[in-house]
Structure 1
Protein backbone atom coordinates (compact mmCIF):
# COMPACT_ATOMS: atom_id res chain seq x y z
CA UNK A 1 0.00 0.00 0.00
CA UNK A 2 2.80 2.38 0.96
CA UNK A 3 4.74 1.55 -2.23
CA UNK A 4 1.64 2.17 -4.31
CA UNK A 5 1.13 5.54 -2.63
CA UNK A 6 4.74 6.54 -3.19
CA UNK A 7 4.45 5.50 -6.82
CA UNK A 8 1.30 7.57 -7.24
CA UNK A 9 2.93 10.62 -5.67
CA UNK A 10 5.92 10.26 -7.99
CA UNK A 11 3.60 10.08 -10.98
CA UNK A 12 1.83 13.26 -9.85
CA UNK A 13 5.21 15.00 -9.40
CA UNK A 14 6.35 14.03 -12.89
CA UNK A 15 3.06 15.19 -14.38
CA UNK A 16 3.38 18.54 -12.62
CA UNK A 17 6.94 18.92 -13.88
CA UNK A 18 5.75 18.15 -17.39
CA UNK A 19 2.99 20.76 -17.16
CA UNK A 20 5.44 23.37 -15.88
CA UNK A 21 7.92 22.55 -18.65
CA UNK A 22 5.21 22.82 -21.29
CA UNK A 23 3.84 26.09 -19.90
CA UNK A 24 7.21 27.74 -19.32
CA UNK A 25 7.78 30.46 -21.86
CA UNK A 26 10.41 29.65 -24.46
CA UNK A 27 12.33 32.87 -25.13
CA UNK A 28 12.50 33.93 -28.76
CA UNK A 29 15.79 35.54 -29.75
CA UNK A 30 15.99 37.60 -32.92
CA UNK A 31 19.31 38.30 -34.64
CA UNK A 32 20.05 41.65 -36.27
CA UNK A 33 23.07 42.85 -38.21
CA UNK A 34 24.41 43.72 -41.62
CA UNK A 35 25.11 41.34 -44.46
CA UNK A 36 28.26 39.34 -43.68
CA UNK A 37 28.22 40.34 -40.01
CA UNK A 38 28.14 36.72 -38.83
CA UNK A 39 24.51 36.27 -37.78
CA UNK A 40 24.53 32.63 -38.87
CA UNK A 41 27.69 31.99 -36.85
CA UNK A 42 25.99 33.51 -33.82
CA UNK A 43 22.91 31.38 -34.53
CA UNK A 44 25.06 28.24 -34.52
CA UNK A 45 26.59 29.30 -31.19
CA UNK A 46 23.09 29.60 -29.72
CA UNK A 47 22.28 26.23 -31.25
CA UNK A 48 25.13 24.59 -29.34
CA UNK A 49 23.54 25.92 -26.15
CA UNK A 50 20.31 24.06 -26.80
CA UNK A 51 18.45 26.61 -28.90
CA UNK A 52 16.46 25.75 -32.00
CA UNK A 53 17.44 27.94 -34.96
CA UNK A 54 15.00 28.99 -37.66
CA UNK A 55 17.07 29.84 -40.75
CA UNK A 56 14.97 32.04 -43.03
CA UNK A 57 17.48 31.87 -45.89
CA UNK A 58 17.25 28.08 -45.91
CA UNK A 59 13.45 28.32 -45.86
CA UNK A 60 13.53 30.75 -48.80
CA UNK A 61 15.79 28.43 -50.80
CA UNK A 62 13.40 25.55 -50.11
CA UNK A 63 10.43 27.70 -51.10
CA UNK A 64 11.96 28.33 -54.53
CA UNK A 65 11.89 24.58 -55.13
CA UNK A 66 8.12 24.40 -54.67
CA UNK A 67 6.37 24.08 -58.06
CA UNK A 68 3.82 26.82 -57.40
CA UNK A 69 6.44 29.27 -56.16
CA UNK A 70 8.78 28.40 -59.03
CA UNK A 71 6.00 29.00 -61.57
CA UNK A 72 5.17 32.42 -60.08
CA UNK A 73 8.83 33.45 -60.00
CA UNK A 74 9.32 32.50 -63.65
CA UNK A 75 6.16 34.41 -64.58
CA UNK A 76 7.52 37.46 -62.76
CA UNK A 77 11.16 37.38 -63.86
CA UNK A 78 11.12 35.30 -67.03
CA UNK A 79 12.68 31.94 -67.96
CA UNK A 80 16.16 33.46 -67.85
CA UNK A 81 16.28 32.84 -64.09
CA UNK A 82 16.33 29.08 -64.70
CA UNK A 83 19.59 27.18 -64.99
CA UNK A 84 20.40 24.44 -67.51
CA UNK A 85 18.57 21.89 -65.36
CA UNK A 86 15.41 23.97 -65.17
CA UNK A 87 15.95 24.98 -61.56
CA UNK A 88 15.84 28.52 -60.26
CA UNK A 89 19.30 30.08 -60.19
CA UNK A 90 19.43 32.34 -57.13
CA UNK A 91 22.25 34.41 -58.59
CA UNK A 92 20.18 35.20 -61.67
CA UNK A 93 17.20 36.03 -59.50
CA UNK A 94 19.36 38.42 -57.48
CA UNK A 95 20.64 40.10 -60.65
CA UNK A 96 17.07 40.68 -61.77
CA UNK A 97 15.35 41.87 -58.60
CA UNK A 98 18.05 44.06 -57.12
CA UNK A 99 18.14 46.09 -60.32
CA UNK A 100 14.36 46.64 -60.30
CA UNK A 101 12.44 47.62 -57.17
CA UNK A 102 9.10 46.49 -58.60
CA UNK A 103 10.47 43.01 -59.30
CA UNK A 104 11.93 42.84 -55.80
CA UNK A 105 8.53 43.73 -54.37
CA UNK A 106 6.91 41.07 -56.54
CA UNK A 107 9.38 38.40 -55.46
CA UNK A 108 8.83 39.35 -51.83
CA UNK A 109 5.07 38.93 -52.23
CA UNK A 110 5.61 35.45 -53.66
CA UNK A 111 8.26 34.05 -51.34
CA UNK A 112 7.77 35.72 -47.97
CA UNK A 113 4.30 34.32 -47.15
CA UNK A 114 5.65 30.80 -47.73
CA UNK A 115 8.74 31.43 -45.60
CA UNK A 116 6.85 33.09 -42.76
CA UNK A 117 4.20 30.37 -42.64
CA UNK A 118 6.90 27.71 -42.39
CA UNK A 119 8.79 29.71 -39.76
CA UNK A 120 5.61 30.07 -37.70
CA UNK A 121 5.02 26.33 -37.94
CA UNK A 122 8.56 25.64 -36.71
CA UNK A 123 8.10 28.05 -33.81
CA UNK A 124 4.96 26.25 -32.67
CA UNK A 125 6.72 22.89 -32.90
CA UNK A 126 9.77 24.09 -30.97
CA UNK A 127 7.61 25.59 -28.23
CA UNK A 128 6.26 22.10 -27.53
CA UNK A 129 9.70 20.46 -27.60
CA UNK A 130 11.01 20.05 -24.05
CA UNK A 131 14.59 19.72 -25.33
CA UNK A 132 14.53 23.21 -26.86
CA UNK A 133 15.69 25.91 -24.45
CA UNK A 134 14.98 28.89 -26.70
CA UNK A 135 14.12 29.74 -30.30
CA UNK A 136 16.49 31.79 -32.46
CA UNK A 137 15.29 33.65 -35.54
CA UNK A 138 18.08 33.98 -38.11
CA UNK A 139 16.07 36.13 -40.49
CA UNK A 140 17.77 38.81 -42.64
CA UNK A 141 14.56 40.88 -42.91
CA UNK A 142 13.44 40.34 -39.32
CA UNK A 143 12.57 44.01 -38.75
CA UNK A 144 11.35 44.64 -42.29
CA UNK A 145 8.63 41.96 -42.01
CA UNK A 146 7.74 42.95 -38.44
CA UNK A 147 8.88 39.72 -36.82
CA UNK A 148 11.09 41.55 -34.34
CA UNK A 149 7.86 42.07 -32.39
CA UNK A 150 7.70 38.29 -31.83
CA UNK A 151 11.06 38.34 -30.07
CA UNK A 152 11.76 38.54 -26.36
CA UNK A 153 15.33 39.61 -27.00
CA UNK A 154 17.02 41.22 -30.00
CA UNK A 155 20.75 40.65 -30.46
CA UNK A 156 22.71 42.80 -32.89
CA UNK A 157 25.85 41.30 -34.42
CA UNK A 158 28.34 44.09 -35.01
CA UNK A 159 31.28 43.70 -37.37
CA UNK A 160 33.60 46.14 -39.12
CA UNK A 161 32.27 47.09 -42.54
CA UNK A 162 35.40 45.96 -44.39
CA UNK A 163 35.23 42.50 -42.82
CA UNK A 164 31.52 42.22 -43.57
CA UNK A 165 31.98 43.06 -47.24
CA UNK A 166 34.89 40.62 -47.53
CA UNK A 167 32.74 37.84 -46.06
CA UNK A 168 29.82 38.78 -48.27
CA UNK A 169 31.87 38.13 -51.40
CA UNK A 170 31.66 34.43 -50.59
CA UNK A 171 27.86 34.53 -50.71
CA UNK A 172 25.61 34.18 -53.74
CA UNK A 173 24.67 37.74 -54.59
CA UNK A 174 24.60 37.49 -58.37
CA UNK A 175 26.92 39.13 -60.86
CA UNK A 176 25.79 42.73 -60.49
CA UNK A 177 24.68 42.74 -56.88
CA UNK A 178 27.01 43.42 -54.03
CA UNK A 179 26.29 43.49 -50.32
CA UNK A 180 25.99 47.26 -50.28
CA UNK A 181 23.23 47.29 -52.89
CA UNK A 182 21.22 44.71 -51.00
CA UNK A 183 21.78 46.38 -47.65
CA UNK A 184 20.66 49.76 -48.98
CA UNK A 185 17.23 48.25 -49.62
CA UNK A 186 16.87 47.27 -45.96
CA UNK A 187 16.18 49.27 -42.81
CA UNK A 188 19.36 51.04 -41.72
CA UNK A 189 21.80 49.36 -39.38
CA UNK A 190 21.63 52.42 -37.12
CA UNK A 191 17.93 51.83 -36.55
CA UNK A 192 18.45 48.11 -36.00
CA UNK A 193 21.17 48.65 -33.43
CA UNK A 194 18.84 51.00 -31.54
CA UNK A 195 16.26 48.20 -31.40
CA UNK A 196 18.76 45.71 -29.99
CA UNK A 197 18.83 44.58 -26.37
CA UNK A 198 22.33 43.16 -26.69
CA UNK A 199 25.30 43.63 -29.00
CA UNK A 200 27.73 40.88 -29.98
CA UNK A 201 31.09 42.07 -31.29
CA UNK A 202 32.30 39.90 -34.16
CA UNK A 203 35.68 41.34 -35.02
CA UNK A 204 37.74 38.67 -33.27
CA UNK A 205 37.79 34.87 -33.39
CA UNK A 206 34.90 32.45 -33.07
CA UNK A 207 35.78 31.45 -29.50
CA UNK A 208 35.42 35.07 -28.36
CA UNK A 209 32.11 35.23 -30.18
CA UNK A 210 30.89 32.03 -28.53
CA UNK A 211 31.82 33.40 -25.10
CA UNK A 212 29.72 36.52 -25.67
CA UNK A 213 26.79 34.44 -26.87
CA UNK A 214 27.01 32.19 -23.80
CA UNK A 215 26.95 35.22 -21.48
CA UNK A 216 23.94 36.71 -23.26
CA UNK A 217 22.10 33.40 -23.23
CA UNK A 218 22.72 32.92 -19.51
CA UNK A 219 21.19 36.35 -18.92
CA UNK A 220 18.20 35.56 -21.13
CA UNK A 221 17.50 32.28 -19.34
CA UNK A 222 17.89 33.90 -15.92
CA UNK A 223 15.35 36.58 -16.80
CA UNK A 224 12.75 34.42 -18.53
Structure 2
Protein backbone atom coordinates (compact mmCIF):
# COMPACT_ATOMS: atom_id res chain seq x y z
CA UNK A 1 0.00 0.00 0.00
CA UNK A 2 1.33 3.42 -0.96
CA UNK A 3 0.20 6.15 1.42
CA UNK A 4 0.03 9.52 -0.33
CA UNK A 5 -0.51 12.72 1.64
CA UNK A 6 -2.20 15.24 -0.68
CA UNK A 7 -2.35 18.85 0.42
CA UNK A 8 -2.50 22.42 -0.85
CA UNK A 9 -3.63 25.77 0.40
CA UNK A 10 -7.30 26.72 0.24
CA UNK A 11 -8.18 27.50 -3.39
CA UNK A 12 -5.17 25.62 -4.80
CA UNK A 13 -7.25 22.99 -6.61
CA UNK A 14 -6.36 20.13 -4.27
CA UNK A 15 -9.92 18.74 -4.35
CA UNK A 16 -9.86 18.72 -8.15
CA UNK A 17 -6.61 16.74 -8.12
CA UNK A 18 -8.09 14.39 -5.52
CA UNK A 19 -11.17 13.73 -7.71
CA UNK A 20 -8.99 13.03 -10.74
CA UNK A 21 -6.80 10.58 -8.79
CA UNK A 22 -9.93 8.79 -7.55
CA UNK A 23 -11.11 8.48 -11.17
CA UNK A 24 -7.81 6.74 -11.97
CA UNK A 25 -8.26 4.17 -9.21
CA UNK A 26 -6.82 5.73 -6.07
CA UNK A 27 -8.64 5.11 -2.81
CA UNK A 28 -9.22 8.65 -1.56
CA UNK A 29 -9.69 9.34 2.14
CA UNK A 30 -10.94 12.93 2.41
CA UNK A 31 -10.16 14.46 5.80
CA UNK A 32 -12.58 17.37 5.24
CA UNK A 33 -15.44 15.02 4.39
CA UNK A 34 -14.69 12.93 7.46
CA UNK A 35 -14.46 16.11 9.56
CA UNK A 36 -18.03 16.88 8.41
CA UNK A 37 -19.21 13.34 9.20
CA UNK A 38 -17.91 13.43 12.77
CA UNK A 39 -19.88 16.61 13.59
CA UNK A 40 -23.22 15.67 12.03
CA UNK A 41 -26.35 16.06 14.20
CA UNK A 42 -26.48 13.41 16.91
CA UNK A 43 -22.71 12.88 17.05
CA UNK A 44 -20.47 13.26 20.07
CA UNK A 45 -18.37 15.69 18.01
CA UNK A 46 -21.22 18.16 17.49
CA UNK A 47 -22.23 17.89 21.14
CA UNK A 48 -18.71 18.83 22.24
CA UNK A 49 -18.49 21.75 19.79
CA UNK A 50 -21.78 23.19 21.10
CA UNK A 51 -20.48 22.77 24.67
CA UNK A 52 -17.43 24.88 23.76
CA UNK A 53 -18.83 27.47 21.31
CA UNK A 54 -22.49 27.64 22.34
CA UNK A 55 -25.72 27.00 20.41
CA UNK A 56 -25.12 29.99 18.09
CA UNK A 57 -22.95 27.74 15.89
CA UNK A 58 -26.00 25.64 14.99
CA UNK A 59 -28.40 26.18 12.12
CA UNK A 60 -32.14 26.06 12.75
CA UNK A 61 -32.22 22.39 11.69
CA UNK A 62 -29.66 21.50 14.38
CA UNK A 63 -26.74 21.03 11.97
CA UNK A 64 -23.42 22.82 12.36
CA UNK A 65 -23.23 26.27 10.76
CA UNK A 66 -19.72 25.80 9.36
CA UNK A 67 -19.56 29.36 8.02
CA UNK A 68 -20.34 30.89 11.39
CA UNK A 69 -17.98 28.56 13.23
CA UNK A 70 -15.28 29.26 10.63
CA UNK A 71 -15.53 33.01 11.08
CA UNK A 72 -15.10 32.52 14.86
CA UNK A 73 -12.13 30.13 14.80
CA UNK A 74 -10.16 31.51 11.86
CA UNK A 75 -9.96 34.87 13.61
CA UNK A 76 -8.71 33.38 16.92
CA UNK A 77 -5.92 30.78 17.10
CA UNK A 78 -6.92 29.59 20.61
CA UNK A 79 -10.48 28.90 19.49
CA UNK A 80 -9.16 27.11 16.41
CA UNK A 81 -6.99 24.95 18.66
CA UNK A 82 -10.05 24.12 20.81
CA UNK A 83 -12.00 23.06 17.73
CA UNK A 84 -9.10 20.96 16.42
CA UNK A 85 -8.77 19.22 19.81
CA UNK A 86 -12.34 17.96 19.36
CA UNK A 87 -12.34 17.13 15.66
CA UNK A 88 -8.85 15.75 14.95
CA UNK A 89 -8.98 12.66 17.22
CA UNK A 90 -12.41 11.72 15.83
CA UNK A 91 -11.13 12.13 12.27
CA UNK A 92 -8.05 10.02 13.12
CA UNK A 93 -10.21 7.14 14.34
CA UNK A 94 -12.35 7.18 11.19
CA UNK A 95 -9.30 7.40 8.89
CA UNK A 96 -7.74 4.35 10.58
CA UNK A 97 -11.00 2.45 10.08
CA UNK A 98 -11.13 3.30 6.35
CA UNK A 99 -7.43 2.55 5.85
CA UNK A 100 -7.89 -0.94 7.28
CA UNK A 101 -10.29 -1.67 4.38
CA UNK A 102 -7.75 -0.86 1.62
CA UNK A 103 -6.16 -3.61 -0.50
CA UNK A 104 -2.46 -4.36 0.05
CA UNK A 105 -1.51 -2.96 -3.37
CA UNK A 106 -3.76 0.12 -3.16
CA UNK A 107 -2.64 3.68 -3.73
CA UNK A 108 -4.34 5.44 -0.83
CA UNK A 109 -4.55 9.21 -1.18
CA UNK A 110 -5.19 11.11 2.04
CA UNK A 111 -6.69 14.47 1.09
CA UNK A 112 -5.49 16.52 4.08
CA UNK A 113 -5.82 20.33 3.95
CA UNK A 114 -3.76 20.91 7.12
CA UNK A 115 -1.07 18.27 6.57
CA UNK A 116 1.79 20.76 6.97
CA UNK A 117 0.20 22.73 9.82
CA UNK A 118 -0.27 19.54 11.86
CA UNK A 119 3.17 18.08 10.98
CA UNK A 120 1.64 14.97 9.41
CA UNK A 121 4.16 14.49 6.56
CA UNK A 122 5.98 11.60 8.34
CA UNK A 123 2.75 9.56 8.23
CA UNK A 124 2.93 9.22 4.43
CA UNK A 125 5.21 7.52 1.93
CA UNK A 126 4.99 10.53 -0.37
CA UNK A 127 3.65 14.07 0.10
CA UNK A 128 2.06 15.75 -2.90
CA UNK A 129 1.45 19.51 -2.78
CA UNK A 130 -0.93 21.20 -5.21
CA UNK A 131 0.57 24.65 -5.61
CA UNK A 132 -0.74 28.02 -6.77
CA UNK A 133 0.27 31.58 -5.90
CA UNK A 134 -1.61 33.25 -3.04
CA UNK A 135 -3.10 35.81 -5.46
CA UNK A 136 -4.41 33.03 -7.73
CA UNK A 137 -5.96 31.20 -4.78
CA UNK A 138 -7.54 34.38 -3.41
CA UNK A 139 -9.03 35.15 -6.82
CA UNK A 140 -10.58 31.68 -7.03
CA UNK A 141 -12.07 31.94 -3.55
CA UNK A 142 -13.58 35.34 -4.30
CA UNK A 143 -15.07 34.34 -7.66
CA UNK A 144 -15.80 30.61 -7.35
CA UNK A 145 -16.78 30.36 -3.69
CA UNK A 146 -18.17 33.85 -3.22
CA UNK A 147 -16.14 34.44 -0.05
CA UNK A 148 -15.52 37.96 1.24
CA UNK A 149 -12.04 39.42 1.00
CA UNK A 150 -11.73 39.45 4.80
CA UNK A 151 -12.67 35.76 4.97
CA UNK A 152 -10.21 34.89 2.22
CA UNK A 153 -7.39 36.73 3.98
CA UNK A 154 -8.22 35.06 7.32
CA UNK A 155 -8.35 31.56 5.80
CA UNK A 156 -5.06 31.96 3.93
CA UNK A 157 -3.38 33.48 7.01
CA UNK A 158 -4.60 30.57 9.20
CA UNK A 159 -2.86 28.03 6.96
CA UNK A 160 0.81 27.27 6.42
CA UNK A 161 2.63 29.57 4.02
CA UNK A 162 3.25 28.52 0.44
CA UNK A 163 6.97 28.16 1.26
CA UNK A 164 6.26 25.85 4.23
CA UNK A 165 4.08 23.61 2.07
CA UNK A 166 6.67 23.44 -0.72
CA UNK A 167 9.37 22.48 1.81
CA UNK A 168 7.24 19.50 2.89
CA UNK A 169 6.58 18.31 -0.68
CA UNK A 170 8.06 15.24 -2.33
CA UNK A 171 6.08 16.06 -5.48
CA UNK A 172 4.64 19.45 -6.51
CA UNK A 173 1.67 19.77 -8.87
CA UNK A 174 1.58 23.38 -10.16
CA UNK A 175 -1.98 24.62 -10.74
CA UNK A 176 -1.97 28.14 -12.14
CA UNK A 177 -3.43 27.32 -15.56
CA UNK A 178 -6.33 25.55 -17.24
CA UNK A 179 -8.05 22.30 -16.29
CA UNK A 180 -6.48 20.72 -19.39
CA UNK A 181 -3.01 21.55 -18.05
CA UNK A 182 -3.99 20.18 -14.65
CA UNK A 183 -5.25 16.96 -16.27
CA UNK A 184 -1.86 16.40 -17.91
CA UNK A 185 -0.09 17.01 -14.59
CA UNK A 186 -2.39 14.58 -12.77
CA UNK A 187 -1.73 11.96 -15.44
CA UNK A 188 2.03 12.37 -14.86
CA UNK A 189 1.49 12.27 -11.07
CA UNK A 190 -0.53 9.05 -11.36
CA UNK A 191 2.25 7.40 -13.39
CA UNK A 192 4.76 8.49 -10.74
CA UNK A 193 2.62 7.12 -7.88
CA UNK A 194 2.00 3.83 -9.70
CA UNK A 195 5.78 3.41 -10.18
CA UNK A 196 6.41 4.15 -6.50
CA UNK A 197 3.71 1.66 -5.48
CA UNK A 198 5.43 -1.11 -7.47
CA UNK A 199 8.94 -0.25 -6.22
TM-score scaled by length of structure 2: 0.88
What do the CA deviations read for 1:108-163 (whole angstroms, capped 9, x no partner)? 111111111111221221145x6xx4011111111233332121111111123232
Runs of at least 4 residues of structure 1 off by over 3 A?
A: 169-173
Aligned to 1:202: 175
Task: Find the aligned partners of 2:155 and 2:101 in 1 and give their Cα distance.
Answer: 32
Structure 1: segments with no counterpart, 5+ residues = 1-25
> 1:94·1:177 contact (CA, 8 Å) conserved in 2?
no
- For residues 153 and 172 of structure 1, do their structure 2 counterparts lie closer, same or farther at Cα, with a shift above 3 Å needed? farther
Task: Find the aligned partners of 1:203 and 1:158 in 2 and give their Cα distance.
Answer: 8
- For residues 120 and 52 of structure 1, do their structure 2 counterparts lie closer, same or farther at Cα, with a shift above 3 Å needed? same
> 1:98·1:182 contact (CA, 8 Å) conserved in 2?
yes
1:96 aligned onto 2:72: yes
Structure 2: segments with no counterpart, 5+ residues = none
> 2:107·2:193 contact (CA, 8 Å) conserved in 1?
no
> 1:77·1:96 contact (CA, 8 Å) conserved in 2?
no
What do the CA deviations read for 1:34-53 (whole angstroms, capped 9, x no partner)? 11000010111111111011
1:111 aligned onto 2:87: yes
1:27 aligned onto 2:16: no
TM-score scaled by length of structure 1: 0.79
Task: Find the aligned partners of 2:140 and 2:48 in 1 and give their Cα distance.
Answer: 31
Aligned to 1:180: 153
Higher-Rg member (1/2): 1
Count of matched residue pairs: 195
